């Protein structure tokens, strides 16, 4: 038995500017953009790659996913979007009924087939804070930080210290990991 939803994964390219509305007045943060997906296939007769018709999806994201997508994406980047597919009917300026494919995203990522990326984890809702907002009253987890005196800081070994990668950005600690250098 089906629960009546159509969950799909789309790979394609961000084809519009990213529109983000911040959370305010009890409303969740919201981000929307368009993704174009064109299937390519090898034509054995001509010996060349052929493009099928481009399918366009209006992607909608909410809450933390919306904030992070708004900060991470831009027009022209390759993405992988997973979510719930629906259609929306609307009237164009001439009065004709049109249909759009809408993908309410549950996950969005960059397609690493075309490049590398650096990941920055947001902790304690840090992504939702304005860049210039400093919250000195909020507790900061410092259990993994080590205080070094000036002499030992200059004599530190070249190997990665256990706390390397933790960055204090305006009292918000984040972990940074470069995917290209990560080991499994």
Count CA atoms closer than 13 A to 23's CA, side-chain side: 16
Structural domains in the chain (count): 2
Which residue among 69, 96, 115 closes a domain? 115
Torsion angle, CA of 179/181/182/184, rounded to 10 degrees? Answer: 120
pLDDT of residue 121: 85
- Whether the per-residue pLDDT at 137 is higher than 60: the answer is no
Question: What domain range is 90 assigned to?
Answer: 1-115
Do 103 and 143 belong together in one domain? no
Do 18 and 36 belong together in one domain? yes
Between residues 172 and 99, which one has the greater pLDDT? 99
CB 58 within 8 A of CB 101: yes
Do 19 and 50 belong together in one domain? yes
Do 96 and 20 belong together in one domain? yes
pLDDT of residue 4: 81
Question: Of the given ranges (17-26, 119-128, 170-179), which has the lowest mean pLDDT?
Answer: 170-179
Taking the C-alpha atoms of residue 101 and residue 90, their distance in angstroms, rounded to an integer, is: 11
pLDDT confidence of 142, banded at 50, 70, 90?
low
Note the residue count of the chain: 184
Do 92 and 156 belong together in one domain? no
Q: Please name which of 57, 125, 48, 129 lies closest in space to residue 86, comparing C-alpha atoms.
A: 57
Residue that has been written with the tokens 């394609």 in this structure: 12
């Amino acid at each position: 038995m089906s629960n009546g939803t159509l969950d799909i994964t789309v790979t394609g390219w961000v084809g519009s500017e990213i529109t983000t509305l911040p959370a305010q007045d009890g409303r969740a943060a919201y981000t929307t953009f368009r993704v174009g997906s064109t299937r390519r296939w090898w034509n054995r007769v001509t010996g060349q790659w052929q493009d099928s018709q481009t399918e366009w999806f209006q992607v909608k994201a909410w809450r933390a996913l919306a904030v992070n997508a708004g900060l991470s994406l831009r027009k022209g980047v390759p993405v992988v979007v997973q979510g719930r597919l629906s259609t929306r009917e609307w009237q164009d300026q001439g009065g004709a009924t049109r249909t759009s494919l809408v993908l309410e995203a549950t996950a969005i990522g960059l397609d690493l087939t075309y490049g590398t990326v650096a990941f920055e984890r947001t902790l304690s809702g840090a992504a939702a804070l304005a860049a210039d907002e400093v919250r000195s009253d909020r507790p900061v987890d410092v259990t993994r930080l080590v205080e070094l005196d000036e002499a030992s800081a200059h004599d530190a070994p070249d190997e990665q210290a256990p706390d390397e990668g933790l960055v204090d950005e305006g009292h918000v600690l984040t972990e940074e990991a470069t995917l290209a250098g990560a080991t499994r």
